[in-house]
Structure 1
Amino acid sequence: MAKYYTKVTFVVIIGLTLIALSFFNFSGVNQQRVERWNSYTTFMESDNLYESTVAVTTLTTQAIRVEETSTTESPLQRKLLENLTTPLYNVVKEKGFGPCGEYFKLRTSKIHDIPRNFPISGKSFCSGDYPKVLFVVPSVANAKGFKNRLDIRKTWASALYKKDWKQTSRTRLAFFFGSSGLKAKELEGLKNESAKYEDIVVGEFNDTYHNLSLKMAVTFTWVARFCAKVETVIKVDMDTFVNVDLMLRLVKKLPISTHPKLVFGKLHVSEHPPALRKGAWAVPESVYPYDEFPRYLYGHSYVVSGAAVRLMAESFPFFPIVPNEDAFVTGVMPAVLNITRFYHMSFATPGAVAVVVVVVVVVVVVVVVVVVVVVVVVVVVVVVNVVPVVVVIVVVVIVVVVV
């Protein structure tokens, strides 16, 4: 029996080596592989955006350059990667959602005005080569906000400014602010920043944390007014890192032809999201009388079709502004306006979890392949009794390639 165990051990070692070589390409394209394996498009990071995302950005940038020039991926490897990044869109369906009736209808007359004056209008933002995709980023006019904007321009959004990447030639980014409460020095600083980067928009409203829903209403109003032809708007928080390449791939395959009015993102985990009455997220009953929200998307990043943006912009004055921005924009308003909500399992995940998920997926695949190889080899050795080592190696190679 000793010779059988020797053969099995030898074959297992060869199998593991072949598996390792099939997953990790040491020619320099392995960075592309890691980036492509990671089908998550956005990552929630720490306050120091540049330091927490620079490794990912370097990885993504190198992957982009490699992909545009040459690759050594085999057809099998490319097929596996395409399968991992192929969108499988799901429509949000309510399960036992209680709220209904007159509340979820537009009022017959205006109940408030959405500010339409913009001290820094950015009205030329969409002139010339009209953008098809627009990233909108709510920001704040303080030192930390300024640093974070610089970090975003240097990292995940850098390709949007350099215009040297064909995927982003019709994609722009704009930061949004409210002017009420701004000091003269802060407003002057934003004007200087706007002159330099041409990506600043300031509206006349009180820019506070509890006014995020109003801030998005003003943002959508600006888009409908100055960028009316934009096809897709992607809202991104300041502390969120975006894999622009994969985000644009997902957006490109959205079923806008059949569902022109849609929102898209990562679905909130709760099937019955509660409307809290106490704490930082409290919602007054006078504004929202129900105990739960419609199912909605996480607010760190979500996608809204141009048609849905324009419809919401027209409708905001006729509906109460619910202070929970993500629930309001991606849950309540879609329920009121019959806007389809889509979600995708790989739209977003916390950065640390993304790494763990990728590692777990790779490990599971490797373990499965190893088990299959070992079982096949043991069966062959035991049943056939004597098998030339060359034949065993061929069997291992075939199993690895097939899997």
Structure 2
Amino acid sequence: MNKREKLALRSHDITIGLGNKQVPEFEIITEIGNMIKLALNIRGLPMIPYETLKMAAYHFLDITPHMCKSIVENLGEIEFVKISSEGKEIKGVLPTVPFYDDIYEGVGEFAETKKINETEQLAVTILEKLTTSPVSSSTIYELGAERKLVQRNLYIGEQGNYIINKRSRGKDILLSPVYFSENADLFSDLVAKSGAKSVQKILKLIKQAQGIPLHIVEQQKEIQGVKLTEAEINLLKSLAHDSIIKPPSIKTSHAGQNYFLFTPKPGNARLSPTKREVYERAMALVSAVRQGQYLPKKFAIRNPPAILRKLKNDYEIGASTEALEQYRQLTVLRVGKLVTTPSGWHKFKLIDTEENIEAINLALELVSVGEGQGLEVDDQMRLAINQGQTYVESLISAVKLKESTNVALSEEHQEEVDNIFLGGV
């Protein structure tokens, strides 16, 4: 990922965390973040009446009606939407948003035409550092920025819900709920105990082999050819057994109970609440094919992505003697059903729903690139837009008016404002 893509991605993460909070120092970050937010959620939709879009963006994405117009115009400038206007009034918006990776590239290129200020740049740098592992707060003060600016940024991050500060073993540990949404206390304790670099190494290796069985790692003492020390294996076991990363499990008569390792489940900025069940199903799918790959009774799966693609295309996986135990959990999650063949074997058949197809696509991404894409999309917003303006209006009328909150000014800026109003210099 290049520099401009990282700027766009972190701006989006920060904007999601902030919600409807206003930060006086953030001039460009929120503009860029809201461009990403809107583009992700309207990609692939037909022509949208602007009034419907404006209300849906306000209700679901915390984009104010005043801001929505400039965001749409910015997206039009980079050809992510086609705007239908009468005079200066926008009447409709036709999304022409590209695929996932190109969204960040396109908006990032637009961001490069702007000049982000020092506070914004540091905010992006800090969040980038927190994406791979929680860290000791002391490392943030070593980035080279003024101490006052670092303190201000950490304050904004905590107020903006994209940084959490936890005290553990006498250390202040910073983590981002964007990437580590669960078990903050346990993660903080682990980093305080083992160090951020060790945790970062383990999580990076898991990402490269999503769904690998813990037993195999313990046995081979490596992941993807990278040797692990006993301390690192113990760290990995702590991640799994202390439920810090809550690994799925499969129990078979020939291999017993096995746990399958995944990186931590993303927070709301990276995983929309409407996608959480899809994510659970995707992890179960990956676990099932990893079971067949690493822990077969007789014949191993040689190509997990090929098995998942077959399920996606043919809605079934060929019958085998191991399918009953291997895919049982998928029936519990309503991903599919097991059908007994005349020979007494079992065949796994997909239940053809939009959510299950999405789960297979996500499972393919997890085994191929280590992470899912497009998980931020709010399906409820897309449904609301398709239902039309009257439906969106009914949603808005059913809830209280939103109250925008402000992150307090820094002492320096507050003094400047006071001087202006008091007639000072």
Structure showing greater Rg: 1
TM over 0.5: no
TM, length-normalised to structure 1: 0.25
